[in-house]
Amino acid sequence: MADAAAPAVAPSGGFKGALIEFLIVALIGASAGAGFEMLRPAVTEAQKPKEAAAPAEASTIYDLAPIVTNLGAPQDTWIRLEASIVFDPKALPHPEAVAGKIGEDVLAYLRTTTLKQLEGPIGLQSVREDLNERAATRSDGKVRELVLRTLVVQ
């Protein structure tokens, strides 16, 4: 009775059997890798990216002064915004003047914004896009991006 209840175990081939199984799996993997490599289109010198040849464009970040104002609606709701501008120092050698103009424009925009416009991720994304567009317009395209660092509504 004890023999009938015992589970059937396949005899192991020992170390030699395990080594053969490992080699078979390794050969299958190597064959698959070689096959996929053959399917990949060849990249010629003309098609290679020019990343190594051309250095990346340098960008500089300039912090705007914090902006604190009340919203357009409701009037008793205050907002504090801290932002930075990203620009190329060759195109914009003196960012202070442009940063002041952008700060004034952001202040005017926030005074017309309602609390409803700021709610949720879509509202925040919309405000971010509007501010980026205004920054680009004020700087004649010299500011690449206006980065919102903090936005607190109280």
pLDDT in tens, 42-79: 656 556 565 554 455 688 999 999 999 999 899 999 99
Return the pLDDT at 21.
87
What does the domain layout of the chain look like in residue ranges? 2-39, 60-153
Return the pLDDT at 106.
94
Q: Under CATH, to which class is 60-153 assigned?
A: alpha beta
Please tell me whether residue 152 adopts helix, strand or coil conformation: strand
State pLDDT tens for residues 119-136. 999 999 999 999 999 999
Cα separation of 139 and 92, whole Å? 9
Return the pLDDT at 66.
95
Return the pLDDT at 131.
94
Cα separation of 135 and 154, whole Å? 25
Please tell me whether residue 108 adopts helix, strand or coil conformation: helix
Within 8 A by CB and 6+ apart from 113, the residues are 71, 72, 79, 127
Is pLDDT of 147 > 50? yes
User: Average pLDDT of the chain?
Assistant: 83
Return the pLDDT at 54.
47
Residue 49 contacts residue 134 (beta carbons within 8 Å): no
